[in-house]
Amino acid sequence: MNAIYILWLRQLKRYFRAKARIIGSLGQPLLFLIALGFGFGPIYQKAGQGNYLDFITPGIIAMSILFTSVFFGIEIIWDKQFGFLKETLVAPVSRFNIMLGRTLGGATVSTLQGVIVLVLSTIFGFRFHNLAMLPVALLFMFLIALVFTGLGTAIGSKLDDMQGFQLIMNFLIMPLFFLSGALFPLSGLPKALVIVASIDPLSYGIDGIRGALVGASHFNMFVDFGVLGILTVILLALGAYFFSKVQI
């Protein structure tokens, strides 16, 4: 447990030291929030759907968590190339504990990133429909972070090329985000898109955050929690397996 805590704390220190990285990672979510929230807001309101900024804010929060979480896998490749990972792996600690500590640290950082986006969104006009449900929203945010940090760890453990990692992640991330219902309601869509959204794990995370923050859930918050919980266990196990096979 001590090793897990140390690695978790190390990831947090990395995050808070990289101030430029914090600011840079907020650029894209804020661009989406402002450009789409205010750009499509009047159209969405005329269609009788309410406040579009309230609708997309959970999706933009999830996008920030998704991008930050998945790209933690590139740190494994970086550490492998420069020998830092070797120093960690030779310690008398199980590789599972090392992977778990890194993953929990990455998930915590990603969740903090989502919280920052949530706070900034209130400046632009987002309002909580039920403040008492904020802890539930934070739980869903952390589950999203765990799922995709586990995914990034699994892929990063198998690759040695940072450019290859970025190509694979871009191939996965954009479809995961755009087909998740982050920017549009899932009700009334063509059946094919509904099926795709239903197998997109990010859909359940966004739906859970949206249900907690604005009281609008497409699936069911218990279904969202169950799906994310199962995926967390699967991807953490997968990440642990691939991480245990890393050659140093």
Query: pLDDT: is 41 or 148 the higher one?
Result: 148
Question: Which residues make Cβ contacts (< 8 Å) with residue 134, sequence separation at least 6?
Answer: 128, 212, 213
**What is the mean pLDDT of the segment spanning 106-127?**
88
pLDDT value of residue 202:
92
pLDDT at 19 over 60: no
Within a 13 Å sphere around the CA of 22, how many CA atoms are in the beta-carbon half?
A: 16
Domain ranges within the chain, ordered by starting residue: 2-244
How does pLDDT run across 79-98, given as a tens digit for each residue? 776 666 666 666 666 777 77
pLDDT value of residue 231:
92
Residues recorded for the chain: 248
Q: pTM, whole model, 2 decimals?
A: 0.87
pLDDT at 69 over 80: yes
Q: How confident is the model at residue 61 (pLDDT cuts 50, 70, 90)?
A: very high
Question: Which residues make Cβ contacts (< 8 Å) with residue 142, sequence separation at least 6?
Answer: 107, 108, 111
How does pLDDT run across 191-201, given as a tens digit for each residue? 888 888 899 99
